Chain A
Amino acid sequence: MKLLVCISKVPDTTSKINFVENNTKFDENGVQYIVNPYDEWYALVRALELVESHGGSVTTITVGSAADDPTIRKALAIGANDAVRIDAEPSDPYFVAKQIAEYAKNENYDIILTGKETINYNGAQIGGMIAEMLNTPFVSLATKLDINNNLATLERDVKGGVEIIEVNTPFVLSAAKGMAEQRIPNMRGIMAARTKPLNVINPVEQELLSSVVKFELPDAKSGCKYVEPENMDELVELLHNEAKVI
């Protein structure tokens, strides 16, 4: 089984979010980067589990600069066999999807896995775009994945319940919570990751269809109004007349 997992670097979940250069750039000062949790905890770990029980290989792919290499090495330390980095700034989702689809189209992967979204852009776009570019099915927000020969069974939460889906390989999925548990790399994995192949390749040409003009921070809350715990009638009155939400 040949699996490709899309890996992105994101600021640590506890990072303070600020912007510089007239609110056009993310302030990287003091920010620690990690592998996007959805890519790592769910997509990568499930891919590794499948290969451990069925045989095969897991390759990670990233669109990014040399600044991404430490997070790519982390994915290799967790257990991926090798990594590909397409040497370009990942600024537009279509651009990123195009790079990955162009790389994957001749490689015959059985499944391409992404996290359900990155925690910086939250776009949830790359998986669906890759699937359309490769003309394969896409299962978004999958919480479970099993495979028997070339027939995969997946689950996902939908309105009113859980959908059980059958799909033939090749296909693309985005992974959500439930698919696997986080793995902490051990010392052997960290040592091995240093010598695993990380192939850097050039991007294909693709114009940008979108760009971020600027960022803004949401308005700060004006402050908390306290209500005595005995006085829930007052809270209901405030929610109705002042906040107008019930």
Chain B
Amino acid sequence: MSATDVGILALRVLAPVLVILIVLPMLQWVERRGAGLIQDRPGPNRVGPFGLLQPLADVVKFFMKEDLIPSNADRFLYVLAPGLATFAALTTFAVIPYGATLSVRGRAIPLVGADVSIGILYLFALTSLSVYGIVLAGWSSNNKFSLIGGIRSSAQIISYELAMTTAAAGVILAAGSFRLTDVVALQSGSWLSFPYRGWNVVPQLLGFVVFFVSAFAETNRLPFDLPEAEAELVAGYHTEYSAMKFAMFYMAEYINVVVASALMVTLYFGGWSLPGFKPVSVTGVLLSVVIFAVKTAFFVWVFMWVRWTLPRFRYDQLMRLGWKALLPLALLNLFWIAALVLWKAL
């Protein structure tokens, strides 16, 4: 492996991570201005034009705040937890293809961090680990509200992961592969052909709805933000956190939203492909990246839209929805897709 190869690999892996980290503060601005729009109020509008510099001011504020560690906290785990949350969130993006294959000077560069054969399984493995950040934060803070937040989070994420994985199993079945590039390639054909080669959302609408709802629970976003429910638990698992440690939880939440959106786009909405669009030249490949970014941005906006539209669930409602509604629906979707595959319609 030459130095150029190593450089290209590093760029392939780091580019999406850097883009996400740069976009994060802007997402916070979008969320707050969006809240203003939906609730018929201005939102942040004092720092810079349209309040655009507000995220910058917030970042400076996070750095300047006093960094407290409660005296009875478990210091090691208390410091480890926010890092774990951010790490698990950032590494999930490694297997999502964010563009077509770029060919420069006879070199084929697939625009994906690592095209591994167990792509989808890798994603689920890391999402299931992301719960540790929250649970450990809750436990190590030595605060009853934090602890309840952590306990809720562990039960919630396990329950919804089941429905989410079963829904995604439909996609795996249709693609016949765990590889996410295969999943995208299979969705980039014609919508009118038989067997069907268009976006997965059409035959698997039910699976998509289950996946979509579970994604909200997995990312701890409203209406499922029970682990931090401020009306009951002060701030849940991150009650005791301040300064950059709190900011890291905040970042992890936004990264998870971006990754969940990118995953929905990849699994159900054709990834970087559009019907009738063939990326041939370098411009075409760049266009595919733009298409992927626009689709992902749409779902990120939906996450924010829902946050300011729906009230929070009660805990028993959350559990009932996960086990008695979403899981059976995901199984139904799996049977339906299995039947389609059997009839060679997919």
A binds B: no
Residues in B lying within 8 Å of A, measured CB to CB: none
Residues in A lying within 8 Å of B, measured CB to CB: none
